[in-house]
Amino acid sequence: MEERPKKLLILYATQTGNALDAAERMGREAERRGCSVHLLSLDQYDASCLPQEGAVIFVVSTTGQGDTPDSMKGFWKYLLQRNLSRQWLEGLNYAVFGLGDSGYQKFNFVVKKLDRRLLDLGATPIVERGLGDDQHPSGYEAALDPWMLSLWNMLNTINYKYFPSGPDFLIPYENLIAQPKIRIMYHDIDKVDSQLSTGSDLNHIELQIERARKMSAVKYSLDKNRPDCILKLVKNQPLTKSSSKDKEVHHFEFEFVSSTIEYEVGDVLEILPSQNPAAVDAFLLRCNLDPEAFITVHPLETENQLLDTQVPIKLKTFVELTMDVASASPRRYFFEVMSMFATAEHEKERLQYFVSPEGRDDLYQYNQRERRTVLEVLEDFPSVQMPFEWLVQLVPPLKTRAFSISSSPSVHPNQVHLTVSVVLWTTPFKRNRAGLCSSWLAKLDPEQRVHVPVWFQKGSLRPPPPSLPLILVGPGTGCAPFRGFIEERAIQSLIGSTAPVMFFFGCRNEDNDFLYKEFWLSHSQNNGVLSEAKGGGFYVAFSRDQPQKVYVQHKMREHSHKVWNFLSEGAAIYVAGSSTKMPSDVLLAFEEIISKESGLPQESAVRWLRALEKAGKYHVEAWS
C-alpha cells in the first residue's frame, strides 16, 4: 500500500512577528509543492514528541542582546535537560533558520545555540543553518529565498514522502489563496445593544480592548487582551529644550485609577497607543467599510466554538484597537494577496513583480526601507479592493510599546513614571516619519483627563539588594530605569546601610538634553547615594560639547581604577540604552579596564565578564 505523504512540521518562535511571517511563507511554499504543513508556535508544541518526528523546520528570532523569544523559553529549558542522551534525537532531520540583526553583538545567537544543541542530541541537519539579517539591503528575505530552495531540494533527497511530485512541482498560486483564514459576521445593532452597556467608563474601555483583541486573527502579538489597569496621565513635562531639534524627550507621570498594580524598579510598562482618528477614517473610506457596523471575527478552524461566546464590537473600534493602519509596514504576503484583487493591469503587474524573486529588492526599498504604511500602500494601488476578511488577517497588528519604568514604587506608591524619547526619522526618500506611540504620548494634555491602557511586565534589569555595589551605565533615555534604582536606594539608605553606586550618564549637550540634571546632582552631593563621600560617583559624558566626541565608555576608562575596585568588591553591572553600538562599546570598555587594572590578558578579561554574566551580575536592557 502506498504510504501517505507526511505533514511537514514547522515550529517558530517570534517576538515581533518576523519569524511567524517567515514560517508562514515557508509553509505556503511547501504547500505549493504539494506538501501538507503543520505550523505551530514553539510554546504550542510538546518538546518530548521531537524524537517521533521525521523532519522539523525551526524558524526562530533573536531578541535584544541575544535573548530567546518568550514563546521559546519553555521548549529551550526542556532541551537543556541533562538526562537527554546524545542519541535522543537520532533519526530526526532538522533545519534551522534564524532572524537577527548584525548591528547587535550576539547576531542570531538563539538559532546558533539551537543548532548546536540539536546536533548534540543526535539530530541530523538537512541543510546548513540560515541566518537572516535585518541589516541586509533586502532584509532577512535575502538569506531566506536561497535557503528555502536548498531546503526543498535536500528534503526531497532524504524523504520523498514530503513532496509526492518532487520539489519542482508547483501548484498555481491562485489555487492556494482562494480564501482567508477568518470569517467576519455582521450583527443587527438592536440585538447587541444590551450586551454593550458595561457600567463605568474605565471598565467599558477595558472590556472593549479585551473583546477586540481576543477576536483578532493575529495570534503572536495580541496575547495580552484585557489591560492590567488604566492609568490617568497627571504630568507631561519636556526634559529637552524646545530649541533642541535633534532630540525631544518627555517625562510622564501616571496615577492608578482603575486598580493598583504592584511593580518593582526595573520593570517595564507596555502601552497601547491610540491611532490618529483621521488615518483610521481614511482607511475605512478607502476600503469601503461601514464604521458603524457591528462585527465578530472568527478564525475558520475554531469558528463553531466561538460563535456563542463573542460579543459584537463596532467595526471602527475593532480597527482602532487591533489593526495598525498608519504606522506599521505590511509584509510581503500583503502584496501577494493585493495582486489577486488588482483590477488595473499595470497595478497587477507591479504587484506581481514586487513578490517575484526579481522584484524582492525593489519591494524592500519601496516598503520596509520607506516604512510605507498600509494606508499609503492601498492608496498607491487604487484599483485594489481587498475584502475585510483579508485586511483583518494581513494588516499588521496594533502592538503595545514597552518603556522602562523610571520611578520607585516606594517613593511614588500610587504612580508610575516614564522617560520617553519621541521617535523621529527621515526615510531614504526624505520623508519625515514619527513613532506612533511616542509622538502620541508627547501631544497628550494632562488637563484633558487622559486615560491610558497598560500592561506591567518584568524587565531584564532585576532589582538589586541594598548590599550590592552597582555600576550603572545609562546614556540618553537609558537613564530611565536607573532613576528608579536611585530613588529606591535613597529610601533604603534611610533605613540601613547601602552599598555604593557609580553611574555613568551620557548626552549630547549639557544645556539641551542633560535629562534629570537636578535629580542626579542632588543624589551626588550631601552624602547622597551617588556621592563620592558614600563611595560612589556620578560621571557625565557630553558627546557634542567639545571638538572630540566623548561617550560613557570614555568616562569609564577615565575612572578605570575605581571601576575595577567596584568589580573586585563584587559589584553588579547594569547597562541600559540604545541597542546599536553602545552595549558592545561598553562591554569592550569593561574588558579593557579589567585587563589593564588586573594585569590579565584580554582573553581572561572576556572570560571574567562571561562568568559575571552567568552569575546574574551583568544586565543589559537595550532597545532600537
Assign 254 to helix, strand or coil: strand
Residue 582 near residue 576, CB atoms below 8 Å = no
C-alpha distances (whole Å) from 12 to each of 90, 223, 580 are 22, 16, 26
* pTM reported for the whole predicted model: 0.86
For the record, the C-alpha cell of 42 comes out as 514553539
Q: Are 477 and 600 members of one domain?
A: yes
Residue 252 near residue 271, CB atoms below 8 Å = no
Instruction: Say whether 545 counts as a known binding-site residue.
Output: no
Instruction: Say whether 403 counts as a known binding-site residue.
Output: yes
Grid coordinates 492556494 are at which residue? Answer: 176
Strand ranges, E, within 427-484: 432-434, 451-457, 470-473
Residue at a domain's end among 117, 143, 175: 175
What pLDDT, on the 0 to 100 scale, is given for residue 429?
Answer: 86
Q: Are 610 and 528 members of one domain?
A: yes
Residue 611, judged by CB atoms within 10 A of its CB (0-12, 13-18, 19+), counts as exposed
Q: Is residue 311 situated within a structural domain?
A: yes
Q: Are 41 and 144 members of one domain?
A: yes
Instruction: Say whether 577 counts as a known binding-site residue.
Output: no
Q: Is residue 426 situated within a structural domain?
A: no
Tell me, rounded to whole angstroms, the distance of Cα 472 from its chain centroid: 24
Instruction: Say whether 623 counts as a known binding-site residue.
Output: yes
Q: Are 383 and 505 members of one domain?
A: no
Q: Are 145 and 201 members of one domain?
A: no
Q: Are 215 and 300 members of one domain?
A: yes
Instruction: Say whether 17 counts as a known binding-site residue.
Output: yes
What pLDDT, on the 0 to 100 scale, is given for residue 395?
Answer: 93
For the record, the C-alpha cell of 190 comes out as 438592536
Residue at a domain's end among 175, 201, 229: 175
Pairing of strands 618-623, 572-578: parallel
Residue 226: closest CA among 459, 460, 456, 458: 456
What pLDDT, on the 0 to 100 scale, is given for residue 392?
Answer: 94
Q: Measured between alpha carbons, how far is 139 from 10 in angstroms, rounded to an integer?
A: 21
Q: Are 169 and 191 members of one domain?
A: no
Which residues are 540's β-sheet partners? 505
Q: Measured between alpha carbons, how far is 363 from 377 in angstroms, rounded to an integer?
A: 11
Which residues 6+ apart lie within 8 Å of 259 measured at CB?
Answer: 228, 229
Q: Measured between alpha carbons, how far is 432 from 308 in angstroms, rounded to an integer?
A: 46
For the record, the C-alpha cell of 92 comes out as 530526526
DSSP category for residue 150: H
Q: Are 504 and 573 members of one domain?
A: yes
Q: Are 149 and 207 members of one domain?
A: no
For the record, the C-alpha cell of 304 comes out as 463553531
What pLDDT, on the 0 to 100 scale, is given for residue 223?
Answer: 52
Grid coordinates 521525521 are at which residue? Answer: 54
Q: Measured between alpha carbons, how far is 416 from 406 in angstroms, rounded to an integer?
A: 8
Residue 299: closest CA among 178, 176, 174, 185: 185
Q: Measured between alpha carbons, how far is 96 from 112 in angstroms, rounded to an integer?
A: 9
Q: Are 38 and 133 members of one domain?
A: yes
C-alpha distances (whole Å) from 617 to each of 113, 242, 500, 570, 620 are 22, 39, 16, 9, 10
Q: Measured between alpha carbons, how far is 487 from 498 in angstroms, rounded to an integer?
A: 13
DSSP 3-state helix, strand, coil percentages of the chain (rounded to 5)? 40, 20, 40
Q: Is residue 251 situated within a structural domain?
A: no
Domain count, the chain: 3
Residue 422: closest CA among 445, 402, 400, 441: 441
For the chain, the straight-line distance linking the first and the last C-alpha, in angstroms and rounded, comes to 56
Q: Measured between alpha carbons, how far is 573 from 576 in angstroms, rounded to an integer?
A: 10
Q: Cβ atoms within 10 A of the Cβ of 308, count?
A: 6
CA dihedral 391, 393, 398, 400 (to 10 degrees): 180
Instruction: Say whether 64 counts as a known binding-site residue.
Output: yes
Residue at a domain's end among 351, 377, 394: 394
Assign 298 to helix, strand or coil: strand
Residue 384: closest CA among 399, 396, 374: 374
Instruction: Say whether 438 counts as a known binding-site residue.
Output: yes
What pLDDT, on the 0 to 100 scale, is given for residue 159?
Answer: 62
C-alpha distances (whole Å) from 96 to each of 31, 36, 99, 132, 148 are 19, 19, 10, 11, 11
What is the 3-state secondary structure of 387-404? CHHHHHHHCCECCCEEEE
Residue 273 near residue 440, CB atoms below 8 Å = yes
CATH number at residue 165: 3.40.50.360
Q: Is residue 421 situated within a structural domain?
A: no
Instruction: Say whether 343 counts as a known binding-site residue.
Output: no
Instruction: Say whether 212 counts as a known binding-site residue.
Output: no
Q: Is residue 429 situated within a structural domain?
A: no
pLDDT < 70: residue spans in the chain: 1-5, 65, 159-161, 167, 173-178, 190-200, 217-224, 243-246, 301-309, 624
Instruction: Say whether 371 counts as a known binding-site residue.
Output: yes
Residue 576: closest CA among 403, 337, 332: 403
Q: Tens digits of per-residue pLDDT, 295-334?
A: 999 877 654 444 556 789 999 999 999 999 999 999 888 9
Instruction: Say whether 402 counts as a known binding-site residue.
Output: yes
Residue 143 near residue 111, CB atoms below 8 Å = no
For the record, the C-alpha cell of 591 comes out as 574588558
Instruction: Say whether 550 counts as a known binding-site residue.
Output: yes
What pLDDT, on the 0 to 100 scale, is given for residue 160?
Answer: 56
Q: Is residue 343 situated within a structural domain?
A: yes
Q: Measured between alpha carbons, how far is 202 from 227 in angstroms, rounded to an integer?
A: 11
Instruction: Say whether 585 counts as a known binding-site residue.
Output: yes
Which residues 6+ apart lie within 8 Å of 429 measured at CB?
Answer: 370
Q: Are 521 and 570 members of one domain?
A: yes
Assign 116 to helix, strand or coil: helix
Instruction: Say whether 543 counts as a known binding-site residue.
Output: yes
For the record, the C-alpha cell of 39 comes out as 505550523
Q: What range does the domain containing 335 cover?
A: 182-220+276-394
Instruction: Say whether 435 counts as a known binding-site residue.
Output: yes
How wide is the angle at C-alpha 128 spanned by C-alphas 122 and 129, nearest 5°? 90
C-alpha distances (whole Å) from 314 to each of 83, 203, 292, 304 are 53, 17, 6, 21
CATH number at residue 496: 3.40.50.80
Q: Is residue 326 situated within a structural domain?
A: yes
Residue 261, judged by CB atoms within 10 A of its CB (0-12, 13-18, 19+), counts as middle
Q: Measured between alpha carbons, how far is 375 from 390 in angstroms, rounded to an integer?
A: 14
Q: Is residue 86 situated within a structural domain?
A: yes
Q: Measured between alpha carbons, how far is 418 from 163 in angstroms, rounded to an integer?
A: 53
Instruction: Say whether 14 counts as a known binding-site residue.
Output: yes
Q: Are 495 and 387 members of one domain?
A: no
Strand ranges, E, within 64-178: 93-100, 124-125, 130-133
Q: Measured between alpha carbons, how far is 326 from 396 in angstroms, rounded to an integer?
A: 10
Q: Measured between alpha carbons, how far is 282 from 288 in angstroms, rounded to an integer?
A: 10
What pLDDT, on the 0 to 100 scale, is given for residue 222?
Answer: 46
Q: Tens digits of per-residue pLDDT, 256-300?
A: 987 788 999 999 999 999 999 999 999 999 999 999 999 999 877
Residue 17 near residue 220, CB atoms below 8 Å = yes
What pLDDT, on the 0 to 100 scale, is given for residue 210?
Answer: 86
What pLDDT, on the 0 to 100 scale, is given for residue 217?
Answer: 56
Instruction: Say whether 19 counts as a known binding-site residue.
Output: yes
Instruction: Say whether 595 counts as a known binding-site residue.
Output: no
Q: Specify the DSSP element, H or E, that contains 457.
A: strand 451-457
State the chain's mean pLDDT as an integer: 88
Exposed e or buried b per residue across 2-21, where buried means at least 16 C-beta atoms within 10 angstroms of its C-beta = eeebebbbbbbbbbebbbbb
CATH number at residue 334: 1.20.990.10
Residue 295: closest CA among 396, 224, 284: 284
Instruction: Say whether 404 counts as a known binding-site residue.
Output: yes
